[in-house]
Chain A
Amino acid sequence: MTRDTGVEHPPARRPPAGADDGVVFEARDVRKVYHMGEVDVHALRGVDLDLSTGEFMVLLGPSGSGKSTLLNILGGLDVPTSGTVRYLGHDLTEDDDRALTRFRREHVGFVFQFYNLVPSLTARENVALVTEIARSPMRPDEALALVDLEDRLNHFPAQLSGGEQQRVAIARAIAKRPDVLLCDEPTGALDVETGVVVLEAIERANRELGTTTAVITHNAVIADMADRVVSLSGGLVSNVRLNETSVAARELKW
């Protein structure tokens, strides 16, 4: 296991020269087709999307519209069938599995709808999973303090509520000080109040650490937090809305 691969990857937070508003992600005509036996499922039918440094973007859309597929492709978890995805000018679609792994390790923080914590590890150890392989991580307890879980360090996931587990997942995602934070329905399984706590943690990462953030949600109210709201429908971007002012997570009501 090598922490430092020695191979240079596009450095973090260094927008290409000339870009006044640094573009982190640049997706062009991204298509994704799943072959399910006889039928082809077109999950993405040609998506164009840019994501700028420090931006807070919310992805909306009906179920099956391709949100998770898009987010997974941006985060290097999946590769598109065609089209290009550039990360700071580097074409991710050219990368092999090894390069994508390094990309995820060095730049991306993921938060999943179902937390995906390792049940046999404590909160601190779950975060340590990331800090042990990242380049300049926080300490696990620091990251957990950011999500107000400093007193639950040694609890196992089974001993935490859903919201607490999701906060551990966020701590795990932000502990490496990622350049981008990608969250797939982080509040999907949570009630309003817990949802707000989780969103605050994400918001803090975005505002305080300057992490470029994309959040998938079914909840249109959450969209008010965003700088920009992108709606997907049938595998295509159907609408883009810029919010003049974004609402703080605390003020959200649904």
Chain B
Amino acid sequence: MSLRALDRKMLRDLINMRGQATAICLVMACGLATFVMSLVMLDSLERTLNAYYEGHRFPHVFAHMERAPMALRERIAAIPGVARVETRVVEQVTLDMPGLAEPAVGRLISIPERRRPELCRLYLRAGRYPERGGRREVLVSDAFADAHALRVGDRVRAILNGRLDELHVVGIALSPEYIYQIKPGDVLPDPLRFGVFWIPEPELAAAFDMEGAFNDVLCSLRAGGSAAEVITRLDRLIDPYGSLGAYDRDDQISHEFVTNEIRELKGTAVVAPIIFLFVAAFLLNVVISRLVTTQREQIAALKALGYGRREIGNHYLKLVGVILVVSVLLGGGAGLWMASGLTALYAQFFHFPVLEMHVEPRVLVLAAAVSGLAGYGATATAVRRAMRLPPAEAMRPAPPPVYRPTILERSGLQHLLSPAARMILRQLERRPLKAALSCLGIAMGAAVLVLGAFMEDAVDYAMELQFEVVQRHELTATFVDTRGPEALAEIRHLPGAGHVEPFRGVAVRLRAEHRSRRVGIMGLEPAGELFNVTDLDGKAIPLPDEGLVLSTKLGEILDVRVGDPVTVEVLEGKRAVRRMAVGALVSDFQGVSAYMNRRALNRVLDEGPRISGVFVDADPVAHATLFRRMKEMPMVAAVTLKDAALQSFRDTMGEMIMRMRAFNIGFAVIIAFGVVYNSARISLAERSRELATLRVIGFTRAEISMIQLGELAILTLLGIPLGLVIGFAFAWMTTNAFDTELFRIPLVVERSTYASAATVVLVAAAISGFVVRRMLDRLDLVAVLKSRE
């Protein structure tokens, strides 16, 4: 016998409670899996990001302007704190992609000739660097290449400065600037309709009359250099050249999305594991307490035989330890598996040269520590009780539990209750804390389900709001420059065009005291129908005649309230500086926006009735021809189609949401089942003697099942509504956690979400009930009555 008798007992006890132990392991493993997954992803993302930024020289400060002379470059380089400077020409073009009815937007970025870029170096995935020679050789971003199955040697038709031209793809590249490749203003990347191209500088400059000039500048900082100071000095230098204002990494859109994801992973690494570990700890607590209670006399006997407190304590700690070790192995494995799946999914959104899953051993150690803390924390009291159990005391049979008439009975309603109902109620009332915790555990299952489905509800709601209520138009056309009212008339006369409304968009910097923010002000028609500014409830916010309407988030960033003044520094044209009042704040769910009455905006800009683009409502049948006609107009820089945007959103988000949903349902079922099954098992163990006695004196199986399952049913029925409330609270917490500049999640929980959460928990309860019923049917009357409880 190599295994000591006490360890054999431990293993056999475990086998005896395998159902419960499995449930606990699974719940705990879920928590550890999300924990490991988020930490591994966090590590992988951060490491990859830092290495990429470092190796490919991601700048610290960015600025775009209309046209600056090359001579400025030296002066920018001389700004204290600046390490490296790169100047470029960046132009937006319309692409004509086969298979796409509407035009795609291409961004052409110049690359220096005969040297590598100082900053934002490219990673060449395939092909070679383009050479100058009038052939329009370009590198294309891998996202766009993948979306259109472009290969080296392919051609892309583009309108360069009003002239149709062909770009020759000679390579496929990635840039740290476009890890998240998204068109400014979009919610999600749309690789079909937005692509980045790199082209030799002389060619791009020639095509856009930018020889000897640049319109985009990148700076990196020396160690210890302050981005804010460099921005101030840089702004002073580039201001005369039509600058839109310099900004740092925080405002760089790709960086913003990546860091946002990192922030969310940090949230996930904390919130989800807490829920699961709480439930697992609760289950462990109940099961181990129960075990110590049932084994009271065994413990006493062991002590009488000469086993000490420490040995008794170790015995139970080992038992808990086995459960924890299995949980850690299971959870760690699942976490790594999920992380590798997520890595693949991330690769679709984040374009790194390589995104490798990186597993720090520290993560697994941390997971083990967390589970140890939760597991041993939850069982410490029970184990201490076992250790302290006075052996003499335990040799006496435990006094019968104290039952009292229930409140219902004391209030004189006992005639309403059958003996079975009384037994159920008395049991619940005798252990109110345990009943409450079981109820809470069941509630957690429902809550996790609500939380999981809520994300989908919220996204659906946001999409509907955005595409049905806010954007009532089918198409948006943006002009190359601002135009007069004649442009509006021109579009109106296109065949198929329905209602057409103009808008004026302008880049500004808003200042309130020392806080400032670069945004675009969208000037809308006061009584417009095609673009409605609404809050999260879909309530329209009327545009005031004067003054700005800001996103609530923007109000927070600038720390302004309705009525407060803000300074508007226009970053285009005459670069007017005006003080304006905040007319209204609107709680929207995406980005930070500013809206104004278009006429008021025209006045602020000291211009006539200029417009930057139009919203068009069109008969769906006419869409195709309308697109074609519009993209052929030289004044039109870009056309976007709402349906296409919506479709691409569905495509990209769909998969993500489906996966999240599958995980959430799996998790919730495990929690719900784990809790229900455990409470059922425990109360069966506590009352098997009583139930066996009832059977012996003539109760039928159905009748004793009633007693046993009745308790389960009551706990489940109380737990579900509680869980729905907690789920709503979780959803609320999530909306707060996700309250970033990029997104706000509306707090919307559909009824169907509540219904399906309740259903899943009920089904889990029913299955547990069925298992318990089968155990009751097999209840060995003789064995139960023979054993001393």
In the bound assembly, the distance between CA atoms of A132 and B311 in angstroms comes to: 13
State the main secondary structure of chain B at its contact with A.
Answer: helix
Q: Tell me which of B5, B304, B392 contacts A128 (CB under 8 A).
A: B5
Within 8 A of B (CB), among A119-172: 119-121, 125-126, 128-130, 132-134, 158, 172
The answer to whether B1 touches A118, judged by C-beta atoms less than 8 angstroms apart, is no
Which residues on the A side are within 8 Å of B12 (C-beta)?
Answer: 120-121
Closest approach, in angstroms, between the C-beta of A44 and any C-beta of chain B?
12
A134 in contact with B306 (CB, 8 Å)? yes
User: Which residue of the partner chain, among B6, B304, B309, B788, contacts A77 with CB atoms under 8 Å?
Assistant: B304
Chain A proximity mask over B1-39: 1 for CB below 8 Å, otherwise 0: 100111011001100100000000000000000000000
Interface mask (A167-195 → B, CB under 8 Å = 1, otherwise 0): 00000100010000000100000000000
A110, A117, A125: the one within 8 Å of B8 (CB): A125
Known: A101-B306, A134-B306. A118 touches B9 (CB 8 A): yes
In the assembly, what is the distance between CA of A245 and CA of B311, in Å? 44
In the assembled complex, the Cα of A246 lies from the Cα of B616 at a distance in Å of: 116
Given known A77-B395, A118-B298, contact A129–B305 (CB-CB < 8 A): yes
A116 contacts B5, CB within 8 Å?
no
Q: Is the CB of B314 within 8 A of A1?
A: yes
Flag B302-340 by CB within 8 Å of A: 1 or 0 each.
111111111100100000000000000000000000000
A70 to chain B, nearest CB (A): 11
> Out of B5, B397, B788, which one reaches A129, CB within 8 Å?
B5
**A118 shortest CB reach to chain B, Å:** 5
Chain B residues closer than 8 Å to A72, beta-carbon distance? 391-392, 395
Q: Indicate whether A78 reaches chain B with its CB closer than 8 angstroms.
A: yes
Residues of A with C-beta under 8 A to B127: none
Contact assessment for A112 and B395 in the assembled complex, using a CB-CB cutoff below 8 Å: yes
Task: Give every chain A residue within 8 A of B4 (Cβ-Cβ).
Answer: 128, 132
For B787, list chain A residues within 8 Å (CB).
119, 158
The answer for the CA separation of A2 and B6 in the assembled complex, in Å, is 14
- A-chain residues with CB within 8 Å of residue B5 when the two chains form the complex: 121, 125-126, 128-129, 132
**What CA separation (Å) do A119 and B15 show in the bound complex?**
13
A98 at the interface (CB under 8 A from B): yes
Interface size class of A (residues with CB under 8 A): 35 or more
Known interface pairs A118-B298, A119-B787; A172-B308 also in contact (CB < 8 Å): no
Binary interface encoding of chain A residues 57-79 relative to chain B, with 1 for a CB under 8 A from any of its CBs, else 0: 00000000000110010010110
Residues of A within 8 A of B9 (CB): 118, 120-121, 125
For residue B617, CB closer than 8 A to chain A, the reply is no
Which chain B positions have C-beta within 8 A of A176?
A: 306
CB pair A104–B305 under 8 Å, yes or no, is yes
Q: How far, in angstroms, from A101 to B311 measured CA to CA in the complex?
A: 11
B6 touches A120 (CB 8 A): no
Question: B16 touching A120 by the CB < 8 A rule?
Answer: yes
Does B783 reach chain A (CB closer than 8 Å)? yes
A93 CA / B546 CA spacing, docked (Å): 92
From B297, B303, B305, contact of A130 by CB (8 A): B305
Residues of B within 8 A of A184 (CB): 395
- Whether B485 is near chain A, meaning CB under 8 Å from some CB there, is no
Task: Give the interface size bracket for B toward A.
Answer: 20 to 34
A102: CB under 8 A from chain B?
yes
When distances are taken between beta carbons in the complex, the residues of chain B under 8 Å from A119 are: 298, 787
Output the least CB separation between B379 and chain A (Å): 19
Q: How far is the CA of A117 from the CA of B9 in the complex (A)?
A: 11
Shortest Cβ distance from residue A117 to the other chain B in the assembled complex, whole angstroms? 8
- Chain A residues with Cβ below 8 Å from B307 are 101, 105, 129, 133
* B301 sits at the interface (CB 8 A): yes
Q: Which residues of B contact A78 (CB under 8 A)?
A: 390-392
Q: Does A106 contact B (CB under 8 A)?
A: yes
C-beta contact mask, B662-694 vs A, less than 8 Å → 1, else 0? 000000000000000000000000000000000
A97 to B301, CA, bound (A): 15
A98 and B308: CB pair below 8 A?
Answer: yes
A105 touches B8 (CB 8 A): no
* Least Cβ–Cβ distance between A48 and chain B, in angstroms: 21
A118 with B301, Cβ < 8 A, contacts A1-B311, A125-B8, A158-B783 known: yes
Shortest CB-to-CB span from B393 to chain A, Å, is 8
Q: Is the C-beta of B300 less than 8 angstroms from some C-beta in chain A?
A: yes
Cβ contact of A133, chosen from B306, B310, B786, cutoff 8 A: B306
Nearest CB of A to B782, in Å:
10
Q: How far is the CA of A125 from the CA of B314 in the complex (A)?
A: 19
What CA separation (Å) do A188 and B301 show in the bound complex?
A: 18
Q: Does the CB pair A129–B303 fall under 8 Å?
A: no
Do A104 and B309 have beta carbons less than 8 Å apart? no
Q: B308–A116 contact, CB under 8 A? A: no
Q: Select from chain B the residue with minimum beta-carbon distance to A5.
A: B308
A30 CB, nearest partner CB in chain B, Å: 14
**Complexed CA–CA distance, A119 and B396 (Å):** 18
Task: Say whether, besides A126-B5, A128-B1, A114 and B788 are in contact (CB < 8 Å).
Answer: yes
B residues near A1, Cβ cutoff 8 Å? 310-311, 314
Which residues of A have CB within 8 Å of B303? 77, 101, 104
B395 and A104 form a contact (CB under 8 A): no
**Cross-chain contact A104 with B306 (CB below 8 angstroms):** yes
Q: Is the CB of B392 within 8 A of A129?
A: no
Bound-state CA distance A50–B13 (Å) is: 42
CB distance from A123 to the nearest CB of B (A): 11
Q: Residue among B300, B301, B390 with the most chain A CB within 10 A?
A: B301
Q: Are A101 and B309 in contact (CB under 8 A)?
A: yes
Most chain-B Cβ atoms within 10 A of its Cβ — which of A69, A110, A120, A184? A120
B residues within 8 A CB of A134?
A: 306
B1 to chain A, nearest CB (A): 6
A79 to chain B, nearest CB (A): 9
Distance, CA A121 to CA B8, complexed state (A): 7
Contacts of B390 in A (CB 8 A): 78
The B378-392 residues at the A interface (CB cut-off 8 A) are 390-392
Q: Count chain A CB atoms within 10 A of each CB in B303, B305, B310 and give the residue with the most.
A: B305
B391 touches A77 (CB 8 A): yes
A104 touches B304 (CB 8 A): yes
Given the contacts A110-B304, A116-B301, A125-B5, A97 and B309 also touching, CB distance less than 8 Å: yes
In the complex the two chains form, what is the Cα distance from A176 to B619 in whole Å? 97
Chain B CB within 10 Å — which of A68, A98, A118, A130 has the most? A118
Interface contact A106-B310, CB-CB below 8 Å: no
Contact partners of A106 in chain B: CB under 8 A: 306
Q: Report the minimal beta-carbon distance from B684 to chain A, rounded to whole angstroms.
A: 17
**CB closest residue in chain A, given B12:** A120
Chain B residue at minimal CB-CB distance from A130: B305
Contacts of A101 in B (CB 8 A): 303, 306-309
In the complex, the answer to whether A102 meets B306 with C-beta atoms within 8 Å is yes
Q: Which of B4, B306, B311 has the most CB of A within 10 A?
A: B306
Q: How far is the CB of B387 from chain A (nearest CB, A)?
A: 10
**Contact string against A for B residues 138-170, beta-carbon threshold 8 Å, 1 for contact and 0 otherwise:** 000000000000000000000000000000000
Cα(A248)–Cα(B300), bound, Å: 32
**What residues of chain B lie closer than 8 Å to A75, measured between beta carbons?**
304
- A130 CB to closest chain B CB (Å) equals 5
| 17 A-B interface contacts by CB (under 8 A) | A72-B391, A77-B303, A77-B304, A78-B392, A101-B306, A105-B305, A105-B306, A106-B306, A110-B304, A114-B397, A116-B304, A116-B395, A120-B8, A121-B12, A125-B1, A129-B307, A176-B306
Residues in chain A within 8 A of chain B (CB atoms): 1, 68-69, 72, 75, 77-78, 97-98, 101-102, 104-106, 108, 110, 112, 114, 116-121, 125-126, 128-130, 132-134, 158, 172, 176, 184
Since A101-B308, A112-B395 are in contact, a sample of 19 more A-B pairs with Cβ atoms closer than 8 Å, ordered by chain A residue number, is: A1-B310, A68-B392, A68-B395, A72-B392, A77-B392, A98-B309, A104-B304, A104-B306, A110-B301, A112-B304, A116-B301, A120-B8, A120-B16, A126-B5, A128-B1, A128-B4, A129-B302, A133-B307, A172-B305
Query: What residues of chain B have their CB less than 8 Å away from a CB belonging to chain A?
Result: 1, 4-6, 8-9, 12-13, 16, 297-298, 300-311, 314, 390-392, 395-397, 783, 786-788
Q: Give the 10 A-B CB pairs with smallest separation, nearest first.
A: A105-B306, A78-B392, A116-B301, A120-B12, A72-B392, A128-B5, A101-B308, A77-B392, A110-B304, A129-B5
